[in-house]
Amino acid sequence: MLIDMRKVEKLIDLWFDEDNNYFDLTAKIMVDDDAAATFGMNAREDIILAGLPMAELIFKKLDPACSFEALYKDGDRIAAGTTFARITGNAQALLTAERVALNLMQRMCGIAGVTAEYVKEIEGTGAFLVDTRKTTPGLRMLEKYAVTCGGGRNHRLGLDNGIMLKDNHIAVAGSITAAVARAKAHAPVLTKIEVECDRIDQVKEALEAGADVIMLDNMTNDAMRDCVEWVAGRVPLECSGGVRLETIRGKAETGVDFVSVGRITQSAPCVDIGLDDV
């Protein structure tokens, strides 16, 4: 996934406004203005890296002249005890930036790690793991980037990224056929239309109406196998709804093309990362 670093820089300003309203009282008192230091970012558990370019921006926001040396790259799997980046610069600035950088990377690495677990679980099935819009407000772009670091793929980045006709949209339109027709009449020509279905008769209606992708929502594995057989590859099928690590393999083996999982962003725990004097 490509990242607009311009937007990341705007987020960094907000994060520093939250954590450092006027100045870092402790660093100002305890550290001389011209003191220099070198710190290492260390993994305190086994992790998959995500967020190194963002961490570099965070440190350089307060010390543009600092040196940020990434010893690994995003997507690398590293063991506990590994130093994965080294930063040299103004000690006050680096200590003030420390918590913002660590908080972000701990969150992003956590998402990458959980994503990798789900990806491994469906290896060999032919299905791809995709994320959802169940992300932390303000952090979607970075959390979806973390998903790609863990081997997953992105679904819609936002509401303007594709048309998803869910049950409420269909109810307002009157039917799947009417909803798809209205979407096709007004959507940009390169925009895909996905229809959420929870019964095979809806899948048939969505396909006949011209849907580009069909979501099989909260269906049993047997029902999804029937849908896969009936659709016969004419459009991609996405499995969604209540997918867990212990159930994803069976769902992927039904023959669907994508399995979307909200938990990889919604429920991923943060990992333990530290900044230590070198």
Out of 77, 86, 133, 134, the active site residue is 134
Residue 80 neighbours by CB under 8 Å, 6+ apart = 43, 44, 45, 46
In the annotation, is 60 catalytic? no
Both structure tokens of 270: 């943060």
Q: Which residue from 17, 12, 33 is spatially nearest to 95, judged by alpha carbons?
A: 33
> How many residues make up the chain in this entry?
278
In the annotation, is 166 catalytic? yes
Out of 131, 196, 238, 257, the active site residue is 196
Both structure tokens of 1: 């996934």
- CA pair distance 72, 159, nearest whole angstrom: 34
- CA pair distance 114, 99, nearest whole angstrom: 22
In the annotation, is 10 catalytic? no
In the annotation, is 120 catalytic? no
Out of 77, 99, 153, 182, the active site residue is 99
Q: C-alpha distances in angstroms, 260 versus 12, 28, 133, 251, 267?
A: 29, 47, 10, 11, 14
Out of 28, 73, 166, 199, the active site residue is 166
In the annotation, is 99 catalytic? yes
Out of 56, 98, 143, 217, the active site residue is 217
Residues taking part in catalysis: 99, 134, 166, 196, 217
